[in-house]
Structure 1
């Protein structure tokens, strides 16, 4: 071996780049600790950060829009419940007034000849009121217009038949009694089913809207958003070894706070609506039913006397109507009904004892202590009770209802704020990684 080869063999090896930079062999480079800890060779951290940001922002925005939408639906439901309650009371008023008109017609018919002017005027006023109420109901609720048109036609047939009965009765023709019975039967066979359909439809709509508040759905929306934000924060903590991301945690708190407020408001309104449904709303509906049944009873009383000895079936109708009154009337109006029903018992006693003329005289008298005046007193008190209870229901549904709109706007704004906080928090990690 030559001296040149020996020199080459004994010469020191060239320094490696790391050794040349003064780094001890086996030491790590100056790359960020997060990348080293999470394995940048296998995971694209910037891409993951972008995905988590999109997921967090989407969760916040979906929560905000869904919760605000539910709050607007709650606002609409209360307004619809008020409108449907008013329509229900309007429809029941049509029904009650029709039976009042029939009671007036059948009672005045017992007098013979030309009926008392005040009773005829009361009948005409009742029919005019029915006509106006049908028009108002058709304007208020388009869904009822088809049935209301059929009802209007049936009422016209009823009044036409009643007019024929009146004309024949004035002239002393016995056929007038047949026309009157036909009109009353028509009221119960043609008009009553239409009225029942309208009552059932509006009652169902009103009660559905009263039950439309859904705090559970609001809660589920918030819990879902919080679960997503928790998942995003958990993934961030694995990558960056931080327990909490301030931005994502702030978004979580905002969503939790909004969820709590929305659930409390929705639950409170749901409880309030339940109290209304079992309180003033139920009173309005029940009292209207009692008023209808009371006038039906008075009509059956007159029809019994008009049958002159063969009116047992009408007494059965009276008993059935009386039972409905007693089941539905409030305590105040029930006392007034009992005054009338006691006088009815006296009418029946006179009729069954052969004192027909006295029974008719008692049934048709307009004296303050007669059954007609007693029923009129009940009818007025019952109508006032219906109006008061219905107004209490609708006022309660509409008053303070704007809180749903305010809360919906607040939810949207703070939901956007939560999305912004999530974006800011993840942006902090993105800068750290860069």
Structure 2
């Protein structure tokens, strides 16, 4: 019997050999190294956001303080100018009396000149940038007072040349002193505008930096989620919250401070500058009023200047067609009406009557009405200057330290939050 051998069963296929996995700590793209690099990036970005917040607070505080100092310097310059113009108004009005001028007007002149000179000295000490210009103004002021004294001496003796000295003195004030002070005022105005613009720039910059930091943190979170198979990392979430707080709180508080500074500039500051300008204009107009009579028959050009000054003063007391203070305009109109009566008497040939009225103590005469107007303008300028000083206040220093603390805490949490993942690869 023949036995047939059955065929051998086929052998199972041999599984292909698998390559050994790469070492988890090798290469820049490895998870452990990536956790260190991305974690450090998240911590640095969060810390820098807090640091930028404190720098923005400091920058805005300096800008607001500089704006307040520049506004105070501007008000001081205008006050010096106003004092000197008021002194000239007193000197020219006193000249109408002839001989020995009234004690009240002489006292007013001396007090205004002294106040103006002291203001110039104080301004030169507090604002060194304009020291050279103020020195030139002081020199012109000395020349002005010398000419006034010559005019007074000749007027006491009845010499006609006295009016020429007085006219030259007023020309020095109008053509040299006032323009120089106005140029310094314009420079301070520009600085106020520039500093407030800087203060308003702080808030959007903090928000922009916070947004950039959030983008970086989002990228880090995505990378960590893909590598660790965990949707959120608590430390990175905490860092994100810290950045949001820095951007939101810093942006809101700095934005509010910048908006308040701009509001002060547009309201109290502008009104103070315009009212101060009106004060100077009406005091110069008072001098022109006196010259229309001093020149006896040849004062038409002074009357034109008077009218121009009054028109400019009325414009200065309005903004966009709305009166800043209706009572000031009413006082201006009352004084101008009294001036019209002076001109009417003089034009009718009653020069003595015009002089008597323009130097009268009557409550309805030009002196009383002018004093009421000038005093009200001066009080408005003082009140406005105080409002500007009170309104230009920076955000508290606490904000900067708070933002820095929040950013620092977020940075620590960002780094320590990834520590458990890094420990898995040790």
Residue 127 of structure 2 is aligned to residue 132 of structure 1: no
User: Which residue of structure 2 aligns with residue 213 of structure 1?
Assistant: 200
Residue 423 of structure 2 is aligned to residue 431 of structure 1: yes
Residue 331 of structure 2 is aligned to residue 339 of structure 1: no
User: Which residue of structure 2 aligns with residue 262 of structure 1?
Assistant: 250
Alpha carbons of structure 1 residues 235 and 130: separation in structure 2 relative to 1, 3 Å: same
User: Which residue of structure 2 aligns with residue 373 of structure 1?
Assistant: 368
CA deviations 1:133-186 (Å, max 9, x no partner) are: 112212222212111111111111111111111111111111111100000111
Is the deviation greater in 163-172 or in 226-235? 226-235
Residue 391 of structure 2 is aligned to residue 420 of structure 1: no
Distance 1:319 1:42 in 2: 83
CA deviations 1:233-274 (Å, max 9, x no partner) are: 122122112222211111011110121011111221222222
TM-score, normalised to structure 2's length? 0.90
8 Å CA contact retained: 2:25, 2:33: no
Q: CA deviation at 1:221?
A: 1.1
Distance 2:367 2:238 in 1: 73
Residue 158 of structure 2 is aligned to residue 172 of structure 1: yes
Q: CA deviation at 1:26?
A: 6.9
Alpha carbons of structure 1 residues 259 and 41: separation in structure 2 relative to 1, 3 Å: closer
Alpha carbons of structure 1 residues 429 and 368: separation in structure 2 relative to 1, 3 Å: same
Alpha carbons of structure 1 residues 231 and 187: separation in structure 2 relative to 1, 3 Å: same
Distance 2:36 2:137 in 1: 65
8 Å CA contact retained: 1:74, 1:404: no
8 Å CA contact retained: 2:53, 2:246: no
* Pairing 1:115-154 to 2, within 5 Å after superposition: 115-154=101-140
Distance 1:371 1:56 in 2: 75
Alpha carbons of structure 1 residues 322 and 416: separation in structure 2 relative to 1, 3 Å: same
Alpha carbons of structure 1 residues 42 and 127: separation in structure 2 relative to 1, 3 Å: closer
5+ residue gaps, structure 1, are 1-23
Q: CA deviation at 1:41?
A: 7.1
- Specify the SS of the correspondent of 2:392: helix
- Specify the SS of the correspondent of 2:200: coil
User: Which residue of structure 2 aligns with residue 404 of structure 1?
Assistant: 396
Q: 2:231 aligns with which of 231, 243, 246?
A: 243
Count of equivalent residues: 404
8 Å CA contact retained: 1:72, 1:404: no
Residue 305 of structure 2 is aligned to residue 317 of structure 1: yes
* Pairing 1:24-423 to 2, within 5 Å after superposition: 43-211=29-197, 212-214=199-201, 215-329=203-317, 330-398=325-393, 401=394, 403-423=395-415
5+ residue gaps, structure 2, are 1-14, 318-324
8 Å CA contact retained: 1:344, 1:371: yes
- Specify the SS of the correspondent of 1:213: helix
